[in-house]
Amino acid sequence: MKNFFKSIGNYFKEFATALAKGDIGVKLSLFVMGAGYFARKQIINGLIMIALEAVFIIACVFYAAPNLAKFGTLGTVQFEQIFDPLTMTKTVNDYDNSFLILLNSIIALFIIVAFILVYIGNIKAVYRLQQRKEAGKHINTFVEDMKAMLNEKFHITLLTLPCIGIILMNVIPILVLIAVAFTNYDQQHMPPNALFTWVGWRNFTQLFTTSTTVTFGYSFGKILVWTLEWALLATFTTFIGGILMAQLINSKRTKLPKMWRTLFMVAIAVPQFVTLMLVRNFFADTGIVNTICSNIGLTSFLKSIGLVGSHLTYIPFLTSPGWAKVMIVLINIWVGIPYQMLIATGVLMNIPVDQLESARIDGANKFQIFCKITMPYILFITGPSLITDFVKNINNFNVIYLLTQDVYVTTDQLLANSNAKEVDLLVTWLFRLTNEYYNYKMASVIGIIVFVICAAFTLLTFTQMIKGNREEDFQ
């Protein structure tokens, strides 16, 4: 933390010295960004900077300013439509669209921050050029600058495009939805026909209240517990299963490993939405499995030991809470193990053979080798992915949604009041809240909570991994 503030301090200190000690070219750069480059005869760099500045000013005047002006209220002019009987046309007034104001304001803020960073960086860069000139060092031509992009500055070349993509499709949407959590954006306040506005922390308190009208608190508790149970079960069953299966297939004593692997891969060659929809019908209340089970007497046996309710004539694989949860985990094992097996196979191939050899010579048995060498090595490489798998499972939308949507109906009135089901994960709950009930505000709050949970679970482990500098252990 201390280092963080120190580096920010340094950042501005460098900026100040650049300004204080810079010559006329550097100081002129405050106003015309290319000036410093022109002073060192870097014409192309200078022109690029001037163009950038011009674009920014235009964007500020015509885009950022009008939107940011309304950011505090998210718009005040209600949508109105006037029908003109003479011309038979509808005229729409110049209304405010709260969502677009929110979105555009956030994009505008991004552009402004980015520009300020470029602006400060520019002054510093120009000052560095001045220093080089005074020291009599070589000043790069444009071509040489470009070449550096493939060498010492290669990371800039590599990371620019991916970062822009991430900002546009990930960071900005996330910021928009964090903002929505503090508004009353729902079915009654849908742009363009209605405005929505800021409401502070009201949605958050609602999520934790359980009263006769609001049951979000009750549903949230139930769904949170199931989400965590699910994520833990799903991650570990597939992870361990995948490694064991890879070991089994790759073992020297297994004949035709390639054929076995291919057979399992057939199962994942069929896309998830097909297999899951198929399996859902496979295990439907009137489906084929139920027919077979009742033919061989399994249904009546389960009834007699009380696992199936006495009023049912079928096994409620996906329609009663207990059965559905077990089935979901089992089906997920079926879906997930071949993937994990593939990853584990790739990793197992790269285990340092000499380590295995020497362990064997030292008289370690197979179990010891597996626990002391194979597992640590696998964990080292797939450790980060194990955590992301856990997070992915907390957010595992496909399995839950495709298996239970339209099939599972909750009988718990308290859950139904807040549009939830027993088998819902937090994410499927929030998806249905938005997609079916247009309750964007509550969905955003749940999204933030999911984020906090994932963050709490993973940050600890991750900082350990990054901090410990174990990256170079196996290099």
Q: Is the dihedral of CA 268, 316, 329, 247 positive or negative?
A: negative
The radius of gyration of the chain from alpha carbons, rounded to an integer in Å, stands at 30
In the complex with other proteins, the residue whose CB is nearer, 76 or 170, is: 170
Kindly identify the residues of this chain, within the stretch 177-206, that bind other proteins according to CB under 8 A. 177, 180
Mapped onto helix, strand or coil, the DSSP state of residue 322 is helix
**401, 376 contact by CB (below 8 A):** no
Q: State in angstroms the smallest separation of the CB of 409 from other proteins.
A: 13
342 binds other proteins (CB under 8 A): yes
Among 75, 287, 316, 336, binds other proteins (CB under 8 A): 287
Sole residue written with tokens 């957010």: 395
Contacts to other proteins from residues 243-282, by CB under 8 A: 245, 248-249, 251, 253-255, 258, 260-267, 269-275, 277-279, 281-282
Q: Which stretch binds other proteins (CB under 8 A): 79-87, 137-145, 303-311, 451-459?
A: 451-459
101 near other proteins (CB under 8 A): no
Cβ 463 to other proteins shortest distance, Å: 8
Report, in Å, the least distance between residue 27 CB and other proteins: 26
CA–CA dist 119, 49 (Å, integer) = 9
Q: Measured over all CA atoms, what is the biggest interatomic distance in the chain, rounded to whole angstroms?
A: 98
| Nearest approach, Cβ of residue 312 and other proteins (Å) | 16
Which one, of 239, 106, 76, lies nearest residue 179 by Cα? 106
| Side-chain-facing half-sphere of 376: CA atoms under 13 Å | 11
Q: Could you tell me if 280 and 318 are in contact, meaning their C-beta atoms sit under 8 angstroms apart? A: yes
CB nearer other proteins, residue 30 or residue 451: 451
Binding to other proteins (CB under 8 A) within 415-434 occurs at 426-428, 430-431, 434
- Angstrom distances, CA of residue 292 to CA of 70, 168, 295, 312, 371: 64, 51, 5, 16, 42
Q: Taking CB under 8 A as the rule, does residue 92 contact other proteins?
A: no
Phi and psi at 63, nearest 5°, equal -120, -55
Of 19, 30, 103, 302, which one interacts with other proteins (CB under 8 A)?
Answer: 103
Q: Judged by CB under 8 A, which of 12, 142, 208, 474 binds other proteins?
A: 474
Q: Is 141 in the site for other proteins (CB under 8 A)?
A: no
Q: Give the residue with the Cβ less far from other proteins, 38 or 393.
A: 393
In the complex with other proteins, the residue whose CB is nearer, 159 or 307, is: 159
Footprint (CB under 8 A) of other proteins, residues 388-407: 388, 391, 394-395, 397-398, 401, 406
Q: What is the residue-wise DSSP string for 74-104?
A: T------EEEETTTTEEEE-----HHHHHHH
